[in-house]
Amino acid sequence: MGGRSWLEVMFLFALTAGPACAGESLTCDTQAVAWNRREYRCPLTADGNERRLRFKVDFSGGHDDTEASMALTLDGEALTCKQGSKTSLFGEDGDVSLECHLVLAGPAGTKRVLGATVKFHHAEFVAIELSAL
């Protein structure tokens, strides 16, 4: 298989492969995929307690001009990630990650939606993970 054909197959696989979401049945739907941008929608249900969550994005192939960032929303409003989060990177080598720590609150049964837009340059997208901490 030629180099160009191999790239096309890998791109089609990336378009059809679902995100790697894990932990307590937390799932994310892929809303958009491009070579350097991805958008996700993660439906959540509040349980009446404050739940600590982590949204993580993994990349491989980082090097001196690798850039990545993510912006999150909760119910359509900008979300500020908690201390210890890393929502952007530049020039990091090897396998690299972004992560946002957040708290989900609300009366039990309240439906919430976490949105995430991930942008990257000169790195290979690997997976996302949404998990309870």
State residue 66's pLDDT score: 96
In sequence order, what are the residues at sequence separation of 6 or more whose Cβ sits closer than 8 angstroms to the Cβ of residue 43? 27, 29, 111, 112, 113
Model pLDDT for residues 97-120, shown as the tens digit of each residue: 999 999 999 999 999 999 999 999
- Using DSSP, how many helices (H) and how many strands (E) does the chain show? 1, 9
Phi, psi of 76 (to 5 degrees): 85, -5
Cα atoms in the 13 Å half-sphere on the side-chain side of 8: 5
Q: Which amino acid is at 59?
A: F
| CA–CA dist 118, 62 (Å, integer) | 15
Please identify which residue in the block is written with the tokens 């990650």.
97
Phi, psi of 41 (to 5 degrees): -130, 125
State residue 3's pLDDT score: 43
State residue 16's pLDDT score: 34
Please give the biggest Cα pair distance in the chain.
Answer: 55
Whole-number percent of the chain with pLDDT over 70: 81
**pLDDT, greater one: 87 or 5:** 87
Q: What is the CB neighbour count within 10 angstroms for residue 117?
A: 15
Six-digit token string for 129 = 């993970």
pTM of the model: 0.80
Please identify which residue in the block is written with the tokens 């739907």.
29
